[in-house]
Amino acid sequence: MNPIKITGLILAGGLARRMGGNDKGLRQFQGKPMIAHVLERLEPQVDAMIINANQHHEAYATFGYPVIADVVPGFAGPLAGLHAGLRACTTPLLASAPCDTPFLPADLIAKLYAGLIEAEAQLAVAKCGGWTQPLFTLCQRELLDYLTRFLDGGGHKAYLWYAKLKIVEVPFPDPSAFTNINTPEELERLDQP
């Protein structure tokens, strides 16, 4: 475990339009809800867990972790979920991952933490296959005020929020670890044994 306490946040607050409006985290994948796979991978890497959801709170609560909704109204996107997580977080650092990524790396937090400390950054973000993975982050809780101002000003794109922060991109070798399941077709294809 890392010397500085970290809370894990699973982002499950979207509308899942490409999944036909069916809550992605609760969709069955390899015999259990997709979020259960993410929890199993992320929970051993952090000191506490929070789930961000804007619907089906009771279903998400059955996983045994606090469930928090966006404070920013209108399904404002993943940064609104991160904002809610930072508000609820009681540890110095908050790690985020989306609910539709059942293969996330077992060393995600260790590598993000090492990158954050080495670079003396405010936020570490995963990068794989030449692409930044903006929902896989580790950030300082003290970024809450800045994120609040950014969202209050109408911002919602992660790359614009990052622009004024000291960030570090942390490389990961396996692109399949960041596979997210967005559509029923992807779910069916990846659900094959």
| 6-190 carries CATH number 2.40.160.40 | no
Residue 182: predicted pLDDT: 62
Count other Cβ atoms within 10 Å, centred on residue 148. Answer: 15
Residue 18: predicted pLDDT: 42
d(CA 7, CA 140): 11
Residue identified by tokens 């928090």 is: 68
Residue 30: predicted pLDDT: 82
**Boundaries of every domain in the chain:** 6-190
SS3 content of the chain, % helix, strand, coil (to 5): 40, 25, 35
Residue 14: predicted pLDDT: 58
Q: Assess contact for 36 and 49: CB atoms under 8 A.
A: no
In 62-123, which residue ranges form alpha helices assigned H by DSSP? 78-88, 108-119
pLDDT tens per residue across span 108-156: 999 999 999 999 999 999 999 888 999 999 999 999 999 999 999 988 8
d(CA 107, CA 88): 24
Where the chain has pLDDT below 70, the residues are 1-2, 14-22, 74-76, 181-193
d(CA 11, CA 88): 13
